[in-house]
Amino acid sequence: MSLLQHFSMHFAARRPLRGDAGAALNTVDSVLLANGFQLLASTETSRTFQSSGMQSTRENPVRGASHIELQARGGKLSLAARLGGVRKMALFFWIFPVVLWGGFALAPLLGLMEGEKAVNTEALKGMVVWIVLAPLLTAWLRHRTCKALEVLLESALVKGEGA
């Protein structure tokens, strides 16, 4: 996997399907519908789902995907996903703390706080911490979501083989 693929907000996987495609797809249906996904399209060999994405890191990591397409064709089951929930959380990790700490840092300069310093250096340190943490948290969340999608795909394949 290239570095660009590692930080991409897309996921794709394809595995050999040895069994009933319908049973495999139904397994995915039950998991995604239970996690708040909406079924947009359904055929005997494909499914398309959408969700609002992740609102919190405490949610099921599969919600890091905002759009999921599954297709059973040519003896393979493929899953493609847009990681819109991960992207939304990444924006939160970047924007909220930096704006908050940046506001605290600049408050003395704007006359909003009493003090001798033109800039609150303690607040600047807090902002720097989040500039370091934001990409780490984003990579962690992306990893969790991709792992959850891989487990979902593998579970569907096992269920399809047993049918």
Instruction: Tell me the C-alpha distance between 135 and 152, whole Å.
Output: 26
pLDDT of residue 42: 96
Question: pLDDT band for position 153 (50/70/90)?
Answer: very high
Mean pLDDT of the chain: 86
Better pLDDT: 3 or 17 = 17
pLDDT in tens, 124-142: 777 788 888 888 999 999 9
Distance, CA of 77 to CA of 25 (rounded, Å) = 9
Q: Where are the beta strands (DSSP E) in the chain?
A: 10-16, 38-42, 46-50, 67-73, 76-82
Q: Which range (41-45, 81-85, 89-93) has the least confidence?
A: 89-93
Round to whole Å and give the CA distance between 99 and 131: 11
Distance of alpha carbon 49 from its chain centroid, rounded? 14
- CA–CA dist 46, 20 (Å, integer): 13
Entry pTM: 0.83
pLDDT confidence of residue 100: 76
pLDDT of residue 108: 65
Average pLDDT over every residue of 155-162: 92
* Residue 106, CB-side half-sphere exposure with 13 Å CA sphere: 8
Q: How confident is the model at residue 4 (pLDDT cuts 50, 70, 90)?
A: very low
Please count the CA atoms within 13 angstroms of the CA of 110 that sit on its side-chain side.
Answer: 7
